[in-house]
Structure 1
Amino acid sequence: MTEPTDDINTDVPGAARIWNYWLGGKDNYAADRDAAEAALQYYDMATFARQSRQFLNRVVRFLAGEAGIRQFLDIGTGLPTMQNTHEIAQSIAPESRIVYVDNDPIVLAHARVLLQNTTPEGVTAYVEADYHDPEVIIERAREFLDFDQPIAVMFMGVLGHAKGFEASHAIVARVVDAVPPGSYLAVWDGNDTNPALNALAENYAKSGGVPYIQQPVEHIRGYFAGLEMVEPGLVPVTEWRPEPAEMGAAGSLPETTGGVARKP
């Protein structure tokens, strides 16, 4: 269990720490656990969290393998867990360079300790920044990534925390605009098709945490405007290139929407 520090308000639930709890982690506080347990009364967020994590794993394997990407910008990374982006990418391509971005103090503390490079050839770095300020992210990421070479930009389950739909579109557009042709965008988020998930989001906002806005599917589709979608396109996360062992093992999650696209 995480010990409190002076830099962290342990009385207010944090999204990254709640997610950690749903994934079975111990890096959370009482307020996080209370909010996480309350959410489970509305919806099975533990399964939701695990399946979305599997989506991230499959996406990174595709990008580092089939797509040949060697640079990753993982924005809103959350607390380190098993099979982090750099571990997957560098296991496939040891020279992979990964930059994680988050603005949660506890995420920063854990990242410094746990997000260590796994290969001599690769780079694993962490940028403390709020994604509402993409210019800062781009500027700091340039210290580690070559913006003349393709970069995989990842927003995994975090854009619902943006200040509004217009803001989230502007954030994604600015970062994608900064990377060169041949780069990729990977996004997943919860959509607004499940009343139980919508109710969960409304009650989480009342708890004092940063609100998470469930997004219409067409809004999520808009993130990929002008890009070339990778098959199977925009689908529930459980249906994006599942491994043979996963097929039929997990029910579909139609209230999630995810995809990967290439910048032409």
Structure 2
Amino acid sequence: MTSPLSGGAAQPLKIDTSRPHPARMYDYFLGGKDNYEVDQEAAEKFIEAAPEVRVAVRANRHFMHRAVRHVVAEGGIRQILDIGTGLPTEPNVHQTARATAPGTRVAYVDNDPIVSAHSRTLLADDDTNTSVVLADLRDPRAILDHPEVREVIDFDEPVALLLVAVLHFITEAEDPDALVATLRDALPTGSYLVLSHATGDLHEDRREGAAAVYNNATATMNPRTRPQVLNFFGDFTLIDPGLTPVPDWRPEQPPAPDTPPIGIYGGVARKNG
């Protein structure tokens, strides 16, 4: 699912409870309990600036599940690399995927030790088709070469790469385009990229105020425009309906009439030969 990143790969990975953490804030938005007072206070400030955020994070999670079901059922994918998985909220990616294809292999990657610990508790001791890896999106090569990723992911076969609500926690100075390109280039033909990203396009009047809440968090919020998000897909081919607000990506039922505009884009693209 989603997780913000709190430090470069060369820095020690440690739990920081002195500042808000976007993964724990996300958990609070979803109604979870794996968060601290500092996260709750920051999340409430964000809700003041963007009252639709609880609806938005649920819509983003529903998008992820629909996208996973599509790549498994329609795309024939049997292995998934989920980077920035965030605190686990059931159903998780492996549960959603295996409801369609029981043998689907999943590697979860996050740089937050809390996320790693919680994720591991969900897995059965004999589950050899799932791994939980402590690593950082800012060092994609280390993720691709990580032995615990390689235990379950065969990069000679199609892979679904999930970057769901994580790239907006990467600054421009950290070159998100290059990070994603490294990951895309490692995927063989027939692979998929599932991606969602916060945008200020639909709420320009309060974009800066909402993003400012994250200025004291372990990762800043960096909303991007539709063309910027579209660029992350590179030469992959977007499947219908393309890059849309997440509630509009193949909805299973029409949104409620009073649903506010959701400032998160989502899309699924395939790597063709």
% identical equivalent positions? 39
1:221 aligns with 2:230: yes
Moved more, 43-52 or 14-23: 43-52
Q: Which has the higher contact order (CA 8 A, sep 6+)?
A: 2
What CA distance in whole angstroms lies between the structure 1 residues aligned with 2:124 and 2:77?
17
Q: Deviations over 1:135-163 (max 9, x none)?
A: 11101122321111000001000101113
The 5 A counterparts of 1:55-204 are 55-114=63-122, 116=123, 123-140=129-146, 141-164=149-172, 167-193=175-201, 194=203, 195-204=205-214
SS in 2 for 1:41: helix
What CA distance in whole angstroms lies between the structure 1 residues aligned with 2:31 and 2:229?
28
Contact (CA 8 Å) 2:138, 2:179: kept in 1 or not? Answer: yes
Q: Using the TM superposition, give the Cα deviation of residue 250 of structure 1 relative to its aligned residue in structure 2, in angstroms.
A: 6.7
SS in 2 for 1:225: coil
Aligned-partner residue type, residue 41 of structure 1: E
What CA distance in whole angstroms lies between the structure 1 residues aligned with 2:170 and 2:15?
21
Q: Which structure 2 residue ranges, 5 or more long, are not aligned? A: 1-13
1:3 maps to which residue? none
Give the 4+ runs in structure 1 shifted more than 4 A: 117-120
Q: Deviations over 1:161-214 (max 9, x none)?
A: 113176111111101100100000011111122232432112321x33310101
SS in 1 for 2:39: helix
Q: Using the TM superposition, give the Cα deviation of residue 82 of structure 1 relative to its aligned residue in structure 2, in angstroms.
A: 1.6
Contact (CA 8 Å) 2:138, 2:174: kept in 1 or not? Answer: no
1:31 aligns with 2:41: no
Structure 1 residues 184 and 101, CA gap change in structure 2 (3 angstroms): same
Contact (CA 8 Å) 1:80, 1:107: kept in 2 or not? Answer: yes
What CA distance in whole angstroms lies between the structure 2 residues aligned with 1:39 and 1:172?
27
SS in 1 for 2:161: strand
Q: Using the TM superposition, give the Cα deviation of residue 254 of structure 1 relative to its aligned residue in structure 2, in angstroms.
A: 4.8
- TM-score, structure 2 normalization: 0.88
Structure 1 residues 128 and 177, CA gap change in structure 2 (3 angstroms): same
SS in 2 for 1:136: helix
Contact (CA 8 Å) 1:192, 1:217: kept in 2 or not? Answer: no
What CA distance in whole angstroms lies between the structure 1 residues aligned with 2:182 and 2:15?
30
Aligned-partner residue type, residue 219 of structure 1: Q
1:261 maps to which residue? 269
The 5 A counterparts of 1:37-56 are 37-44=44-51, 45-56=53-64
What CA distance in whole angstroms lies between the structure 2 residues aligned with 1:93 and 1:165?
40
Contact (CA 8 Å) 1:12, 1:31: kept in 2 or not? Answer: yes
Contact (CA 8 Å) 2:181, 2:234: kept in 1 or not? Answer: no
